[in-house]
Chains A and B, each alone.
Chain A
């Protein structure tokens, strides 16, 4: 394994950023600077063509200053810096701080304390085996094309297929009066996608791969070809489910979506600040069956949501959100924690240096149980094995569930019948589902493909997962 090197550009510009920080601190009692240099590419080979392109969300280089004026916080994001530009940058920061004047009429200003600034010096980076820049674009495209061709060749009903791999490698430097922290991380996500057609009936399927690693993940992609194709062909004969509440076994990807969408978002404590999360009133109370222990951990597992410190200079932690069914705490960014009088958990994340920090999840998952998957299926008289989650939406205020799942495999008398239903929507009330969990498998799997939004924007990288779970779920 090799360690990532920090961005040479960030290291070179650091003395200028320190001068800028000093200049800001001469006027404001607290200030920090986050500098980001990230590269992120997408490689794709599809029947429709080949693509090598930067991903704007993951490839950018810039800075954000956060300052405190004695009452509240303001920020200025920019991507050009030099000693000569410091006066201009200060002027823009002042402009941002003066926007408090838009609060007129019956509106007022939030009052915050000054951010604590515990001394911390830190430098570390993640490891990888094969970096994309070492592998070479020709070899990457050749491998993806081989995978795409293998997918296309699996069945004559396949009309389109693609193999895609994305990565982001970033260096982040956090500076404040007492903090000097730098980290570099790389994550990779990959997909096999396949579409098949029979008459007017078109179905598609994707098989994701992800990790805090390098392009060594491409070795795993080969194993997904057969499964991706089998599923899309099965989906061609899928029926529409009869709405109802069923006994369901969820695979780790579906469990992950339940963890993330149904509960995780509601435990983001900036929602507590706004009185937008019902979870706030359930701290210390039962919200799930006693089989359930849930973590949000930026440092205890290695996946796409793993980092050393967050975008506010707080070291990553392993937070136990639910312990044996009892809600213990939420996760928080520094500013929300200060407002609530709690300890920050290292969950302050920005989509990029251009955006505000919010409380965001890292790697969120249920701990393993003790059951075997085959025993779980065998215990179902009539129900479904749920696979292939496609999307979901949070409802922190009312704990409503909304999740799309593209595959429900029928189980009858403890056996899979081979009959499949698609698409399905999971709905219902979160605690009802979590309290109905009666079995959990003995291994945990996490996945970090895609991106997590706060509502409909602010997309960041996370992962989620858990074991197989058995629960009562409303399907439509």
Chain B
């Protein structure tokens, strides 16, 4: 398809462009209880085309762009028409001129994965077996599950000479565990791996089943008011996302954050908790603009070291354009996970949904399961909500010494936050 699009671009005198060709092969199976319900294959190819137009207005130089996608069934006339329309639209986009990514050429990179060494059916068989391995109890079991095995082949070609490509496998999905008695409850969980991680999945399911059993016997959350909380795994990551957003060029250009390189990101006062050290990790070999993604320091001992993010905003801030990062590594703290759980307060293991709003600085969610430590005993509790402000807790924030490793974070397994507002039942 790339050649057909290049021809249309040339015919329409489009000299600045970026193409991203993505071929996706997805194999999917859906289970209800212990039965295979639906099976699917989805094979698609889409090229995302961005055309740019340089122009000048009232003495100001602009680089406008517009974007469209091309799919294999489109005729030459349809592609030509889309190019014409987008090129005209780009002339209305008055974004101040900036430099696009420089030339880089690379052979196809095959991102290492054991999933590449087996058939889709074979890989799914193994993951399905792992998911159901610990489903041995009639009272607490897997209610339903979905698996998505994907192979993505990506190629980026630009008018500046970028021509890079890579192949990446992944397997992800979700499952729901149910416990029938004494209370009929469920727990939702998802998974996402770059490799055939059967043991990790089996262990995760085991933990989810145990969590669901505890939710079934949980009492109403009695905590009302300020309380210390421990947030593990994905919830720790969600709060720590605030710090990756501190490195995002967009947030800084838009004026939401005013941290400059060298500034402290956890406030300027002395802090009693852990300082954040965050390294940016490439999730894919190249950014959408074709910039080679490298490991990079983001925050060191609470000090901002580098911005990352969209090319245009990096150029506007006059900082190196390094690409946008979603994956990161955060250094461990000194407090053990066990010590965190020993503190009075709530150790919250499951929310219905939990969100960090980096702009406002608040994190919040409804509690599905927590363990309440009143200083004498620990009991499972459910219900109520957490509504906290990162500005209020970041000076005393503690990071666990234990780690979690996922496709999106290498970091502390848990965080400990003091005096967070909790609404009980």
Q: Is B174 an interface residue (CB 8 A)?
A: yes
B360 touches A202 (CB 8 A): yes
| Residues in A neighbouring B69, C-beta threshold 8 A | 54, 56, 59-60
10 A–B contacts from the bound complex (CB under 8 Å):
A52-B67, A72-B36, A76-B40, A99-B124, A107-B35, A137-B92, A240-B421, A243-B421, A404-B364, A423-B362
Contact with A along B66-101 (1 / 0, CB 8 A): 111101111000100000001011101111000000
- In whole angstroms, what is the CA distance A156 to B384 when docked? 38
Contact with B along A1-35 (1 / 0, CB 8 A): 00000000100010000000000000000000000
Q: Is B44 an interface residue (CB 8 A)?
A: yes
How far does the Cβ of A269 sit from chain B's closest Cβ, in whole Å?
A: 13
B93 touches A476 (CB 8 A): no
Contact with B along A157-189 (1 / 0, CB 8 A): 001100000000000000000000000000000
Q: Name A residues whose Cβ lies closer than 8 Å to a Cβ of B.
A: 9, 13, 47-54, 56, 59-62, 64, 72-82, 92-93, 95-110, 137-138, 141, 159-160, 195, 197, 200, 202-204, 240-241, 243-244, 273-276, 278, 354-356, 391-393, 395, 397-398, 400-402, 404, 423-425, 427-428, 455-457, 474-476
Closest chain B residue to A235, Cβ basis: B360
How far does the Cβ of A348 sit from chain B's closest Cβ, in whole Å?
A: 12
- In whole angstroms, what is the CA distance A81 to B42 when docked? 14
Contact with A along B145-189 (1 / 0, CB 8 A): 000000000000000000000000000001010100000111010
Q: Is B143 an interface residue (CB 8 A)?
A: yes
B32 touches A110 (CB 8 A): yes
| Residues in B neighbouring A195, C-beta threshold 8 A | 254-256, 359
Q: Is B402 an interface residue (CB 8 A)?
A: no
A51 touches B174 (CB 8 A): no
> Count the A-B residue pairs with Cβ separation under 8 angstroms: how many?
267
Partner of B387, one of A101, A392, A424, A428: A424
Q: Is B54 an interface residue (CB 8 A)?
A: no
Q: Is B191 an interface residue (CB 8 A)?
A: no
Closest chain A residue to B362, Cβ basis: A423
Known interface pairs A197-B255, A274-B32, A404-B355; 15 further A-B residue pairs with C-beta atoms within 8 A, sorted by A's residue number:
A50-B64, A52-B93, A54-B68, A59-B68, A77-B40, A79-B44, A80-B73, A100-B36, A102-B124, A105-B129, A195-B256, A240-B387, A243-B424, A274-B144, A393-B352
B256 touches A202 (CB 8 A): yes
Beyond A48-B250, A137-B89, whether A423 also contacts B364 by CB under 8 A is yes
Contact with A along B407-425 (1 / 0, CB 8 A): 0000000000000011111
Q: Name B residues whose Cβ lies closer than 8 Å to a Cβ of A.
A: 26-46, 48, 64-69, 71-74, 78, 86, 88-90, 92-95, 121, 124-125, 128-129, 132, 143-144, 174, 176, 178, 184-186, 188, 190, 224-225, 250, 253-256, 312-313, 351-353, 355, 357, 359-362, 364-368, 383-387, 389, 391, 421-425
Beyond A52-B89, A92-B43, A110-B36, whether A102 also contacts B383 by CB under 8 A is no
Beyond A47-B254, A137-B88, A160-B255, whether A456 also contacts B34 by CB under 8 A is no
- In whole angstroms, what is the CA distance A397 to B183 when docked? 11
- In whole angstroms, what is the CA distance A273 to B176 when docked? 14
Beyond A96-B40, A276-B144, whether A61 also contacts B74 by CB under 8 A is yes
How far does the Cβ of B80 sit from chain A's closest Cβ, in whole Å?
A: 14
How far does the Cβ of A287 sit from chain B's closest Cβ, in whole Å?
A: 17
A102 touches B422 (CB 8 A): no
Closest chain A residue to B82, Cβ basis: A54
Beyond A72-B36, A195-B359, whether A243 also contacts B185 by CB under 8 A is no
- In whole angstroms, what is the CA distance A183 to B422 when docked? 49
Closest chain A residue to B95, Cβ basis: A49
- In whole angstroms, what is the CA distance A80 to B262 when docked? 52
- In whole angstroms, what is the CA distance A278 to B386 when docked? 25
- In whole angstroms, what is the CA distance A385 to B384 when docked? 20
- In whole angstroms, what is the CA distance A47 to B26 when docked? 39
Closest chain A residue to B122, Cβ basis: A102
Closest chain B residue to A457, Cβ basis: B174
| Residues in B neighbouring A424, C-beta threshold 8 A | 387
Closest chain B residue to A200, Cβ basis: B391
Closest chain A residue to B188, Cβ basis: A455
How far does the Cβ of A254 sit from chain B's closest Cβ, in whole Å?
A: 16
| Residues in B neighbouring A202, C-beta threshold 8 A | 256, 359-361
Partner of B40, one of A49, A74, A397: A74
Closest chain A residue to B221, Cβ basis: A427
B366 touches A400 (CB 8 A): yes
- In whole angstroms, what is the CA distance A78 to B224 when docked? 53
| Residues in A neighbouring B36, C-beta threshold 8 A | 72, 99-100, 102-103, 107-110
A78 touches B44 (CB 8 A): yes
| Residues in B neighbouring A64, C-beta threshold 8 A | 42
| Residues in B neighbouring A51, C-beta threshold 8 A | 93
| Residues in B neighbouring A197, C-beta threshold 8 A | 255-256
Looking at chain A's contact residues, the main secondary structure is mixed
| Residues in A neighbouring B385, C-beta threshold 8 A | 243, 402, 425, 427, 476
B43 touches A77 (CB 8 A): yes
B73 touches A79 (CB 8 A): yes
- In whole angstroms, what is the CA distance A103 to B423 when docked? 44
Closest chain A residue to B37, Cβ basis: A110
A243 touches B366 (CB 8 A): no
Closest chain B residue to A103, Cβ basis: B36
- In whole angstroms, what is the CA distance A204 to B46 when docked? 35
B71 touches A397 (CB 8 A): no
Beyond A48-B254, A243-B421, whether A455 also contacts B174 by CB under 8 A is yes
- In whole angstroms, what is the CA distance A97 to B36 when docked? 11
| Residues in A neighbouring B31, C-beta threshold 8 A | 103, 107
How far does the Cβ of A325 sit from chain B's closest Cβ, in whole Å?
A: 23
Beyond A108-B35, A354-B42, whether A160 also contacts B93 by CB under 8 A is no
| Residues in B neighbouring A240, C-beta threshold 8 A | 387, 389, 421
B95 touches A50 (CB 8 A): yes
Closest chain B residue to A474, Cβ basis: B423
| Residues in A neighbouring B366, C-beta threshold 8 A | 393, 400-402, 425, 427
| Residues in A neighbouring B40, C-beta threshold 8 A | 74-77, 96, 99, 356
B34 touches A76 (CB 8 A): no
- In whole angstroms, what is the CA distance A171 to B45 when docked? 20
How far does the Cβ of B388 sit from chain A's closest Cβ, in whole Å?
A: 9
Beyond A52-B66, A95-B41, A427-B423, whether A203 also contacts B93 by CB under 8 A is no
B143 touches A159 (CB 8 A): no
Most buried by B among A159, A203, A392, A427: A427
Beyond A61-B71, A137-B88, A273-B32, whether A50 also contacts B39 by CB under 8 A is no
How far does the Cβ of A88 sit from chain B's closest Cβ, in whole Å?
A: 10
A96 touches B176 (CB 8 A): no
How far does the Cβ of A388 sit from chain B's closest Cβ, in whole Å?
A: 12
How far does the Cβ of A454 sit from chain B's closest Cβ, in whole Å?
A: 10
| Residues in B neighbouring A138, C-beta threshold 8 A | 92
| Residues in B neighbouring A74, C-beta threshold 8 A | 38-40
Closest chain A residue to B185, Cβ basis: A398
How far does the Cβ of B152 sit from chain A's closest Cβ, in whole Å?
A: 13
- In whole angstroms, what is the CA distance A107 to B142 when docked? 12
Partner of B38, one of A54, A73, A278: A73
- In whole angstroms, what is the CA distance A476 to B364 when docked? 9
B352 touches A75 (CB 8 A): no
- In whole angstroms, what is the CA distance A243 to B185 when docked? 25
